């Protein structure tokens, strides 16, 4: 296929927006992993066998990559991990990326263990949104999921984030059968009491555990006495709902459900992923990649980086294929991809 025929390659200027994938979907959201190391090592995300990448990008290399993506039409950047807040230069990275022309919003996904110290500095560095991972309100269950995690520090960090004045806070709960599904109502109440939107995520096939379908969890919450009414698409705001979640309205606020297995979210995909070593991954559920770090360190120009990005997105599949037989064996651990 020639560049003129390919939907992701511009024959005029590869830096010119829009940035499209092979299906013609417009990419506006970059998930950028700044580290694949974590201080928690949760069972569903980071298997004991994961040794980590050896050559992480520098703040300057992150800035170069994001500046190219922003010129191509990326508007939102989410910093992920591993745990992004364990990088000592996370404030430097946040300030640099939030200042780039074209970047409208910088967000971070975190386990909250460092937020007691960093919540206010992150907001002052230009971070406007936090997604906080918390799967349980029980210390014993927390230790079962993450033997290395600090439960008390997590709870203190969440309270610090709630007080820091971020434009948006979400609580991400990975639901595992027989582990934490019975805590859903309590987690909704906990989040809403702090002005946070809780979101329940079907366990994806990257690690241990059995998923709970979102429809089952909605029914469970309703049976517990929580009134839930599905939110019409036209009522959703960009800040709170621009992503794969489907939202329901409860008395205390929104409740989100992310259902990669039972309600495939790929049709509206607008996301590109770059791992902590600079590998571009066009899809969460695959191994295809483009080594942007090698291009940068080899002296590639911005148009050459843009062309490599477009060519990689030309291989982006229509869907993640998580449910295909045998596919789980080909997936990298979640912390190796950046979520």
**Continuous segment of H or E residues that includes residue 125:** none
**How crowded is the C-beta side of 110, counted as CA atoms within 13 Å?**
26
Strands 29-33 and 271-274: parallel
- Could you give the 3-state DSSP secondary structure of residue 131? strand
By residue count, the chain amounts to 339
**Continuous segment of H or E residues that includes residue 279:** strand 279-281
From residue 303, give the alpha-carbon distance in Å to each of 103, 235, 236, 296: 19, 39, 36, 11
Q: Provide the sign of the torsion angle of the four alpha carbons 217, 184, 273, 4, taken in this order.
A: positive
The CB density around residue 13, as the number of other CB atoms within 10 Å, is: 11
Binding positions for GTP are 31, 78, 109, 170, 271-273
Binding positions for [4Fe-4S] cluster are 38, 42, 45, 266, 269, 283
Name which of 228, 225, 218, 295 is nearest 258 in CA terms.
218
d(CA 138, CA 309): 43
- At a CB cut-off of 8 Å and minimum separation 6, what does 129 contact? 105, 106, 107, 108, 166, 167, 168, 169, 170, 239
- At a CB cut-off of 8 Å and minimum separation 6, what does 125 contact? 91, 94, 95, 98
Binding positions for S-adenosyl-L-methionine are 44, 82, 133, 204
* Under 8 Å between Cβ of 250 and 41: no
Binding positions are 31, 38, 42, 44-45, 78, 82, 109, 133, 170, 204, 266, 269, 271-273, 283
From residue 114, give the alpha-carbon distance in Å to each of 56, 88, 108, 160, 209: 21, 11, 12, 10, 27
């Amino acid at each position: 296929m020639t560049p003129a025929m390919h939907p992701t390659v511009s024959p005029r200027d590869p830096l010119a927006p829009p940035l499209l994938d092979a299906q013609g979907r417009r990419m506006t959201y970059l998930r950028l992993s700044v580290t694949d190391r974590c201080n928690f090592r949760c069972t569903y995300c980071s298997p004991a066998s994961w040794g980590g990448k050896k050559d992480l990008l520098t703040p300057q290399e992150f800035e170069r990559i994001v500046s190219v993506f922003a010129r191509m039409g990326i508007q939102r950047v989410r910093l992920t991990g591993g745990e992004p807040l364990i990088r000592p230069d996370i404030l430097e990275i946040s300030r640099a990326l939030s200042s780039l022309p074209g970047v409208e919003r910088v967000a971070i996904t975190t386990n909250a263990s460092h937020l007691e110290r960093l919540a206010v500095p992150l907001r002052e560095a230009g971070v406007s949104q936090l997604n906080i991972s918390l799967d349980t309100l029980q210390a014993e269950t927390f230790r079962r999921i993450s033997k290395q995690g600090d439960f008390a520090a997590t709870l203190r960090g969440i309270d610090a984030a709630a007080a820091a004045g971020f434009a948006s806070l979400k609580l991400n709960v990975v639901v595992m059968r027989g582990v934490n599904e019975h805590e859903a109502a309590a987690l909704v109440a906990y989040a809403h009491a702090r002005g946070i939107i809780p979101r329940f995520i079907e366990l994806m096939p990257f690690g241990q555990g059995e998923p709970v379908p979102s429809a089952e969890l909605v029914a469970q919450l309703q049976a517990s006495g929580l009134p839930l009414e599905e939110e019409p698409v036209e009522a959703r705001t960009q800040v709170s709902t621009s992503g794969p979640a489907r939202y329901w309205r409860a008395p205390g606020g929104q409740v989100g459900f992310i259902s990669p297995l039972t309600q495939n979210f790929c049709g509206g995909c607008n996301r590109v992923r770059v791992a902590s070593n600079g590998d571009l991954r066009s899809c969460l559920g695959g191994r295809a990649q483009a080594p942007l770090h090698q291009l940068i360190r080899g002296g590639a120009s911005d148009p050459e980086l843009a062309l490599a990005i477009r060519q990689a997105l030309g291989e982006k599949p229509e869907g993640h294929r998580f449910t295909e037989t045998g596919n789980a064996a080909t997936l990298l651990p979640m912390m190796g991809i950046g979520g």
